[in-house]
């Protein structure tokens, strides 16, 4: 990290002025959690959070460095903050490319990498010193969050032990580093007590949780709780909130949490980033490659929990992907009946080993495959949602206005999946869980009425 303070010095701040920080958060939910941690720490020290650039003494930009397009977006966001405010601290995944940031924006005050919370806070202290006043240090018990009150991301680990060839996250964030189980549970319980109704469990590889800690136990409610996927899921399932698992890999031990979904302790939802289905492409991606076995596993999961919804993400146009590989992917997706899917056209990421692979797929082929993929995804989703019409289901309300409410089913994660429209239902509040009957479905969304 480097710090330069050649702009308006902190000593110029007026006496009695409450230091105020602006925050721009880019990237994935994991980056959002980092932003929340930094903001919580700063708020605890008495900083105010400015709603706009003009009111901020300093602006922190939490960047994303996953794809080149994300890096460009980060550079643009830094540029905007520089133009509008001029006192900018950069952090997050793109922060590891300090040279590139300094070349584009030489005036930034400080640059730090991902998870360097202390260094970011230190840089904010240098730019706008904290004011010690016990009466402004009032932070809600659950910390400060950037999500609505009724749902929250719960990060259980950082980093990743896998080495997928298209990905530089392990280079950016390091190997798997799990949080002790009682730390995770303390945070989860605090969130639920503060009114959170849905916990979204995130990491880079949720099912690997605890491997680095050798599944060490830590005390929770007078009992030892191992840092292991199943016991953690069981403990989370006792908190009385919806618990949704993201970034799970289809390892055999994932089978053990499916009964918890059937019992209603966890949501019947698994977010599994399969990335592809062709063994040759998976091998080139350096990912576990037996999708036939995975199909069998999915069938067994559905025997235990018929309502299970699986969301996934895929990459089309990976180097060496043939027409046959791509057709295999479409067939596999139909077979697996995936509820929701996201699809990326392969993009070479600076520093990723996949850049050295032969067989680059031309852009127009990538585009064509992407469109065909999304068409197939739409058909699969439409067929699945049509079967839900007439059923009575629970939904969680996200927004309400004069015309009705926008809600989500247990099969829909916020931001990335579909919605349930409750037209004319105005007597509900965000975070409320209500029973509805599904009256209509289209490709990705449902319409329902109160029962
Ligand atoms: S599992 Fe693969 S894609 Fe995901 S973070 Fe780890 S290396 Fe990257």
Tens-place pLDDT, residues 187-200: 999 999 988 999 99
**Please, which pLDDT band fits residue 19 given cuts at 50, 70 and 90?**
confident
Ligand 1 atom 4 nearest Cα? 204
pLDDT at 140 over 70: no
Counting atoms of ligand 1 from 1, which one is nearest the CA of 249?
A: 1
The domains found in the chain, sorted by start residue, are: 20-127 (3.40.50.12160), 147-267 (3.30.750.210), 391-450 (2.40.50.140)
Find tokens 């509008």 and name the residue: 84
Q: 68 pLDDT band (50/70/90 cuts)?
A: confident
The number of the ligand 1 atom at minimal distance from the alpha carbon of 275 is 3
Taking residues 345-361, what's their average pLDDT?
Answer: 89
Q: Which of 166, 205, 286 most suits a substitution to test ligand 1, by most atoms within 8 Å of the C-beta?
A: 205
**Residue whose C-alpha is closest to residue 383's, from 331, 430, 425, 444:** 444
- Please state, in angstroms and rounded to a whole number, the distance separating the CA atoms of residues 29 and 421: 25
**What's the pLDDT score for residue 145?**
65
Calculate the CA 349 to chain-centre distance.
Answer: 20
* Ligand 1 contact via 284 beta carbon (within 6 Å): no
- Does 64 carry a binding-site annotation? yes
Q: Specify the residue with its C-alpha closest to ligand 1, atom 8.
A: 167
Is the pTM above the cut of 0.85? no
Reported confidence tier of residue 173, pLDDT bands at 50, 70, 90: confident
Largest Cα separation within the chain, whole Å, is 70
- C-alpha distance across the termini of the chain, in Å: 57
Would the pLDDT of 184 be above 90? yes
Q: Which atom of ligand 1 is nearest to the CA of 160?
A: 6
Residue 133 confidence (pLDDT) above 60: no
Centre of ligand 1 to C-alpha 62, Å, is: 21
The preferred substitution site among 66, 67, 164, 284 for testing ligand 1, maximizing ligand atoms within 8 Å of CB, is 164
Provide the sign of the torsion angle of the four alpha carbons 288, 294, 297, 302, taken in this order.
positive
pLDDT at 18: 80
- Integer Cα distance of 274 and 340 in angstroms: 12
For 13, other C-beta atoms within 10 Å of its C-beta total: 16
CA of 275 from ligand 1 middle (Å) equals: 10
The verdict on whether residue 28 carries a ligand-binding annotation is yes
Question: DSSP assignment of 192-251, as one string?
Answer: HHTT--EEEEE-SSGGGTTGGGTT-EEEETTEEEESSHHHHHHHHHTSSSEEEE-S----
Any idea what the Cα angle at residue 80 is, between residues 29 and 37, rounded to 5°? 30
Instruction: Check the annotation: does 93 bind a ligand.
Output: yes
Which alpha helices (H) appear in 387-423, and where do they start and end? none
Name which residue leads in pLDDT, 369 or 250. 369
Query: Mean pLDDT lowest for which of 111-125, 339-353, 365-379?
Result: 111-125
pLDDT band for position 136 (50/70/90)? very low
């Amino acid at each position: 990290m480097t710090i330069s303070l050649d702009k308006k010095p902190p000593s110029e701040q007026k006496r009695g002025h409450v230091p105020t920080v602006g925050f721009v958060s880019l990237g994935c939910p994991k980056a959002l959690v980092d932003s929340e941690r930094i903001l919580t720490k700063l708020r605890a020290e008495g900083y105010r959070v400015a709603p706009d650039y003009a009111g901020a003494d300093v602006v922190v930009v939490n960047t994303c460095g996953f794809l080149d397009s994300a890096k460009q977006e980060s550079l643009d966001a830094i540029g905007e903050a520089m133009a509008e405010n001029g006192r900018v601290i950069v952090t997050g995944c793109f922060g590891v490319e300090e040279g590139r940031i300094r070349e584009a924006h030489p005036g930034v005050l400080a640059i730090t990498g991902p998870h360097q919370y202390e260094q970011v806070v230190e840089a904010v202290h240098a730019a706008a010193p904290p004011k010690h006043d016990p009466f402004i240090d009032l932070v809600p018990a659950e910390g400060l969050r950037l999500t609505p009150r009724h749902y929250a991301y719960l990060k259980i680990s950082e980093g990743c032990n896998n080495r997928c060839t298209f990905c530089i996250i392990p280079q950016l964030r390091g190997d798997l580093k799990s949080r002790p189980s009682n730390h995770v549970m303390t945070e989860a319980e605090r969130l639920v007590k503060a009114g959170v109704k849905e916990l979204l469990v995130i990491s880079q590889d949720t099912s690997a949780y605890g491997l680095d800690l050798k599944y060490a136990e830590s005390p929770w409610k007078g009992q030892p709780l191992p840092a292991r996927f199943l016991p953690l899921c069981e403990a989370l399932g006792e908190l009385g909130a919806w618990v949704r698992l993201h970034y799970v890999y289809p390892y055999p031990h994932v089978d053990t949490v499916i009964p918890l979904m059937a019992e209603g302790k966890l949501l019947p939802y698994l977010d599994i980033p399969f990335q592809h289905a062709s063994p040759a492409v998976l091998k080139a991606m350096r990912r576990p490659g037996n999708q036939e076995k995975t199909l069998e596993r999915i069938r067994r999961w559905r025997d235990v929990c018929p309502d299970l919804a699986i969301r996934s993400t895929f990459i089309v146009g990976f180097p060496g992907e043939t027409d046959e590989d791509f057709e295999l992917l479409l067939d596999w997706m139909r077979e697996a009946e995936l509820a929701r899917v996201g699809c990326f056209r392969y993009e070479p990421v600076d520093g990723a080993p996949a850049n050295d692979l032969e067989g680059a797929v031309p852009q127009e082929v990538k585009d064509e495959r992407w469109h065909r993929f999304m068409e197939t995804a739409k058909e699969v989703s439409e067929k699945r949602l049509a079967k839900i019409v007439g059923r009575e289901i629970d939904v969680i309300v996200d927004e309400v206005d004069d015309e009705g409410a926008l809600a989500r089913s247990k099969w829909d994660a916020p931001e990335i999946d579909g919605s349930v429209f409750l037209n004319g239902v105005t007597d509900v509040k965000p975070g409320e869980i209500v029973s509805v009957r599904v009256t209509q479905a289209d490709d990705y969304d449902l319409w329902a009425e109160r029962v």
